[in-house]
Amino acid sequence: MIRTALACAALLALAGCPKNVPENVSGNDDERMDQYSAQLEELRARASQDMKCDDWCGMKSNVCGISGKVCDIAGKKTERNDFQTKCITAQEDCARFTDSCSSCKS
């Protein structure tokens, strides 16, 4: 009986403690930028292999989508030169995949 009362008291005490809530569900901007940069790096590595038109065109929307997310973060953090550089690089990646897809469909 005493153990049950102590357990209930402990649960109530812990439930009342403030929680450390992250900035947002996806993590903070640095974490998300790192995640997007890693994804783009992986796609760049794939692109360095022998790719066919279907590969370029299939990956284009993914690369350009990630590029947009990178630049959205960079747009909110204009004082961060590293974010601005990552946005430019991501836009270049998007352009490369778009050009490669377009040129082989001609």
Position 87 scores a pLDDT of: 96
Residue given tokens 């794939």 in the structure block:
46
Which of 58-86 are b and which e, b meaning 16 or more Cβ less than 10 Å from the residue's Cβ?
A: ebbeebbebbebbbebbeeeeebeebeeb
Question: For the chain, which residues make up each domain, given as ranges?
Answer: 24-105
Axis-axis angle for helices 29-47, 53-76 (nearest 10): 160
Q: Judge whether 51 and 91 are in contact, CB under 8 Å.
A: no
pLDDT at position 84 is 96
pLDDT at 27: 65
pTM of the model: 0.71
Backbone angles phi, psi at 27, to 5 degrees: 100, 180
- Number of Cβ within a 10 Å radius of residue 33: 22
pLDDT tens for the 106 residues of the chain, in order: 666 555 545 444 444 444 444 444 556 999 999 999 999 999 999 888 888 888 889 999 999 999 999 999 999 999 999 999 999 999 999 999 999 999 876 5
pLDDT for 49 equals 86
Give, in order, the Cα–Cα distances in Å from 106 to each of 17, 53, 103: 63, 11, 5
